Chains A and B, each alone.
Chain A
Amino acid sequence: MKLSRRHLLRGFGTVVALPFLESLEARGQTSAPKQRFVGYMTPNGVNMQRWNQDTSPTFTQLSQSQTLAPFLPALGSHFTMVNGLSCKHRPPMGPGGHHRGVTGFLTAATAIEGQLKVCIDPPATGYEGCAPAGASLDQVLAQALPRSTRYKSLELGPANNSINGGNCGGFPCPYLDNISWVDGSTPAAREISPARAFDRLFAGLDAGQSAAARAKRLARRTRVLDAVKADADALKPKLGRDDRARVDQYFTAIAQLEDDLRNAPPPQACTVGARPNDVGLNVDDPTDYIRTFHRILLLALQCDVSRVVTFMVGGGGNAGSYKYPRALNGNGPRPDGSWAFSNGVASGCELVKHHELSHWRNAEGFTAMPPTPEELTAMKYLATGLIDRYYLSELSTLLNDMKNTVDGPNGETLLDNTLVYYSSELSDSDTHSTDNLPILLVGGAGGALTGGRVINRPSGRVADLHIAIAQAFGVALNRFGNDGVQALPGVFTP
């Protein structure tokens, strides 16, 4: 008898069956910490001046960051800022800036125009035959780390840009919406609904079911999946190369599902609270959406459902862009907190969406007349900086929750064991730049990272940081993305 998820939810209330992890006692005190990785992207770049003084060499203390300053008293010792790293693309970033920024966020590779393919350092012209990129950093970790959780990775994020007219230019829309890539042509599909994400994590297992009943159900499902794999295998030789790759993609997904079914640890209980309401993305204020997904993210880590999670606050670019009233209302530069110019004329800056603000040098359509063009530019730039602060404010709530969750035998917290890779797809969104990316590493990475530091690596490669992260998680990785050739030194404790 296959029970629906809804029935299980009804039956189990707030204590839900969860994958069991060997207890720390059983593993002994010498066991390695439960390292966790969170890839976290905020869209449309940051105000680099307020972030790190435009990567100024004299920027050496976290306290010099206007954006971070409010959060340093509580969390400063957990922050590590890495400045100067770039994701280089050949040809130089032309059209498709947000597409390439998002796609390169955890792949450090280059999205190709006119098809769905991420390549390693493709030439400026003649993409055909370029070498496809491998998995993004999160997927590398998910596949390489020994399975200890029900899901190897979780991908959470916004509804796609496609919805907004269906034409993202010459670059396909999926580039704007995916930071997690199984391989160079396969984005790892995101769960866009917090309620469905909750069901996926916590409603699928029946702790009350006997081992025999579970085994019978597993056998039923794997019998079918085996037949499906055989069916797909038989089809492949009849197809050309590209179509064969598509069937392979399906085969791989089915095999991964079967692996999850067979090898997920048996359930154990974890208190997860009520199922969240299905918060949709609200273009007028994404706060509820972000908070609801933060709760899912926290539960996934707390209950050890997965140790690798990615979350995008939004897709890159205009179509998926939101307004941020909580960041901007009352925080304008005038003494009364308004967004009026010095001549008293209302600018309207607080009314527009983030993407438009992020093109801060651009005055297109701003018919409200500032006394000088520079005043409008400065105001828009300030607005983007306040949105950055808002993002961090929301994040800090999550980080504090992680800090208050004990996660190890010696009082380690969830934050101690986690590495949050926090950044945006671009540095300066106005120029669509992927140079000097704004990177904040948060947490202790299971003892591998000491916080409270600023690390300046002028002309460094972000791909080298990705290598360093993989190595900090014990995963052998020596080349990565367009130009990663060695672990960025001095970030993690060897």
Chain B
Amino acid sequence: MRRLFPLALSVAACTGVIGAPPPPPEAPAPLPPEPQCEHALVPGRPPLHRLTRLEFDQSVDAVLGDRSALAAANFPLDPSHAGFDHVSDVQTVSVLHAERYEEAAWKLAEALWVREFDPGLSKRWEAETRAEDGGYERVQQSCCGSNLYNNVVANGARGFWTAYRIFVQTYLDREADYTVRLSGWAAYPDGGTTTEDGGVRPLNWQVQLDSRYPFLSARVAGTRTAQQLYTATVHVDSPGVHQLDIWLDDETRLSDPPTPPVGWLDWFSIERASTAIATPKVRRCDLATGGAPCVSQTLSALMRRAYRRPVASPEVDAVVAVYDAALAAGDSQAEAFQAAVATVLLSPHFLYRVELDADLTSATPHPVSAHELAARLSYFLTSGPPDDALSAAADDGTLTDPSVLQSHAARLWGSGVMVQNAGAQLMSTRALDTISPSPQLFPTFDAPLKAAMGREAELLFASVFHQPQPMTKLVDADWSYLNDRLAQHYGLPLPGSATPVRVALSNTERGGALGLGSMLALNSTPARPSQVLRGKWVLTNLLCDVPDDPPAAIPPLTTMPGRTARESLEEHAKNPFCAGCHKRMDPIGFALDQYDADGAWRATDRQGQALDTHGQLPDGTTFEGLPQLRTALARDLRFEQCMALHLLTYALAREPKGDDRCQAESLAAKVHGQSFEALMREVVASEPFRMRQAEVQP
């Protein structure tokens, strides 16, 4: 036996005596026991960690500045184990992952090009230079044979002659607003006077896109005046070949057809502004003019951030080689650059958090490198890669100084991402969709109520986790977050708000994790509360004493006329086969029996029988109802040990094994009565967090 458990925390067996002997109710909280783990503990070895969907999106945001959250929408779900969905042990990959990774990589690379590198688009048709163009983008005449439209010298200069409609078919590379300009003049050869009143007939330049209603319609003077510039903007809704038509519209021509008007265009153009943003994440230089050094510099900087460590030049060369090969195969610079970026985003050095052992043959624990440590810290506290300050501390090696490490931990602590992610999983709010009390029995239960319950749980967690509160407030908080709907459901005074607000609770029948409507409803069947599921939730989430699934061939729980649910369960727990788990789970559930399957207070069960909310754990701890149960839990050292184990698991992203439980007890003892932040600092300082050991082949 490498170590002793001061307390029974065995996962595998359901037979242990559970719980530290509680003090008498009036006694002060117990002092933490000295950790009895045998030192030195083994730090263990996190399996190679594949980024989860959340981590992928956070990483893409940090590395590329792209918040499009592609992963969350499209990647396969990350499976959970040991309470969290980022536990490396079970994050596997199969071909569906590969498909989605590849799809995301190309999309992100294209978006990066548009966002940071796009040079814009500008096409200009000059009578002098475009006259002989042979491509599909040449200027054409829509009608009528003769070569009137082109290369007409008038007023001493060449121009497009537009007695008829002229058009071009041109490739526009993306959905955007485009600016069209034309420069020329128009006039009537006959002076343009009407026969009736001698006035000048109105004359308009018209420009249309893809045969839609003209977007440019500009009145011209109607005489051979000096060249004028006309400008208009048009929206192009998809990339591809589009047709631009230009003609002169003589408004009165049909009713009075004398000599048609003539137009002369010196040039016309279409332009799209560059979409490159002013503060790029990736762009370092002008790829169009910077040549090979610019390409290499840009990709190298990108890889440094994507891989969360300095990159060696052969690695950069390999990615540059992808760029070069694409150019050689006829890709545009944009396409080649996107291929290089996609290669980086598909690299195992990006998709996995790689940690290396210098000596694969020695199991001696060693500190992880400064960059590995930076990544551990940032993914622990932000689910994303190190920011600039943390990266700099890794680069200069100062991060391995414990005080520097702690200062960064303090700086990053309390990110919304962590509070939300850890809270949703520890408080089980992701499972809200599976809560479905029977509409026949609970007709007032609806989606807004369920949502209010979810918010209550998240806000309660945040108010304890992120604030300088003792961890135990998670079970015995005397506040909660209610809106009117939820307060009414609980039978509490209405706070007068449709959104959840913090309310002080005057009694202890709500408040804390045990009084959460979401937890109570989740651990119910649609028709009634489940003492077993509630007990199991408390044991699993708050005491880290996970009961096993029932074994095969369990004797059935029978019901008898006149027997309460409690009596049936007590009968069941008499069977030694069942007792190991049920004697731990059921008493907790009994204490919560005053709360119905929809989380509301109830005075009796559905048959009108009184509820007996006394519970007694195998170690002799007794309590009645939620108020005494929460006090007992807050005094139970297993609660803080369990929070330590959860946070250690969350930080290491691996299944707890080996010495981890002992580590957790040791951490909990150091911060007894203190806050989650204090616990986090101990986790960061711990050996499992700062060290690893190689996996030596047996």
Which A residues have a C-beta under 8 Å from some C-beta of B?
1-2, 4, 7, 92-99, 113-116, 155, 159-174, 177, 182, 185-192, 196, 200, 216, 219-221, 223-225, 227-228, 230-232, 235, 238-243, 246-247, 249-250, 253-254, 256-257, 260, 280-281, 283-284, 317, 319, 323, 348, 351-353, 356, 359, 361-373, 376-377, 430-433
Beta-carbon contacts under 8 Å, B371-398 to A: none
8 Å CB contact of B552 from A1, A93, A177: A93
Bound form: Cα–Cα A373–B541 in Å: 34
B130-138, B280-288, B350-358 - the one binding chain A:
B350-358
Contact A363 B433 (CB under 8 A): no
Bound form: Cα–Cα A394–B347 in Å: 44
Contact B84 A166 (CB under 8 A): yes
Bound form: Cα–Cα A329–B331 in Å: 62
Which B residues have a C-beta under 8 Å from some C-beta of A?
11-12, 45, 47-48, 50, 74, 76-85, 89-90, 92-99, 102, 105-107, 110, 238-239, 318-319, 321-322, 325-326, 329-331, 335, 339, 342-343, 346-349, 351-352, 354, 356-357, 360, 425, 428, 430-431, 433-434, 436, 438, 440-441, 522, 525-532, 537, 540-541, 546-554, 556-565, 568-569, 572, 605-607, 609, 655, 657, 694-697
Contact B339 A224 (CB under 8 A): yes
- 19 A-B contact pairs sorted by A residue (CB < 8 Å): A1-B239, A163-B80, A166-B425, A186-B94, A191-B76, A224-B346, A225-B102, A227-B318, A241-B697, A243-B47, A247-B348, A250-B50, A280-B433, A365-B530, A365-B568, A370-B561, A373-B560, A431-B554, A432-B552
Question: Nearest-CB distance from A38 to chain B (Å)?
Answer: 18
Contact A189 B552 (CB under 8 A): no
8 Å CB contact of B557 from A169, A192, A260, A364: A364
Bound form: Cα–Cα A364–B554 in Å: 13
Known: A232-B348, A247-B352. A364 touches B77 (CB 8 A): no
Bound form: Cα–Cα A25–B528 in Å: 63
Bound form: Cα–Cα A164–B79 in Å: 11
8 Å CB contact of A240 from B92, B322, B436, B694: B694
A191: chain B residues within 8 A (beta carbon) = 76, 96
Bound form: Cα–Cα A25–B606 in Å: 69
In the complex, residue of chain A having the shortest beta-carbon distance to the beta carbon of B110:
A2
8 Å CB contact of B102 from A187, A221, A369: A221
Bound form: Cα–Cα A228–B565 in Å: 59
Of B96, B97, B342, most A-chain CB atoms within 10 Å:
B96
A231: chain B residues within 8 A (beta carbon) = 318, 343, 347-349
Known: A224-B346, A241-B697. A219 touches B551 (CB 8 A): no
Of B11, B81, B85, B553, most A-chain CB atoms within 10 Å:
B81
Contact A246 B527 (CB under 8 A): no
B554: chain A residues within 8 A (beta carbon) = 431
Main SS class of interface, B: loop
Question: Nearest-CB distance from B634 to chain A (Å)?
Answer: 22
8 Å CB contact of B531 from A174, A363, A365: A365
8 Å CB contact of A363 from B360, B434, B436, B558: B558
A159: chain B residues within 8 A (beta carbon) = 77
Contact A162 B85 (CB under 8 A): yes
B325: chain A residues within 8 A (beta carbon) = 223
Question: Nearest-CB distance from B34 to chain A (Å)?
Answer: 29
Question: Nearest-CB distance from A350 to chain B (Å)?
Answer: 9
8 Å CB contact of A351 from B106, B351, B527, B548: B527
Bound form: Cα–Cα A177–B107 in Å: 30
Contact B525 A365 (CB under 8 A): yes
Contact B74 A196 (CB under 8 A): yes
A256: chain B residues within 8 A (beta carbon) = 95, 98
Contact A431 B606 (CB under 8 A): no
Contact A187 B428 (CB under 8 A): no
Bound form: Cα–Cα A115–B92 in Å: 12
Bound form: Cα–Cα A221–B331 in Å: 12
10 extra A-B contacts, CB within 8 A, seeds A165-B430, A166-B82, A431-B552: A92-B552, A95-B550, A115-B89, A167-B546, A170-B11, A170-B548, A188-B94, A235-B354, A246-B93, A364-B557
8 Å CB contact of A170 from B239, B527, B546: B546
Contact A164 B431 (CB under 8 A): yes
Question: Nearest-CB distance from A286 to chain B (Å)?
Answer: 12
Question: Nearest-CB distance from B152 to chain A (Å)?
Answer: 37
Contact A356 B525 (CB under 8 A): yes
Contact A116 B90 (CB under 8 A): yes
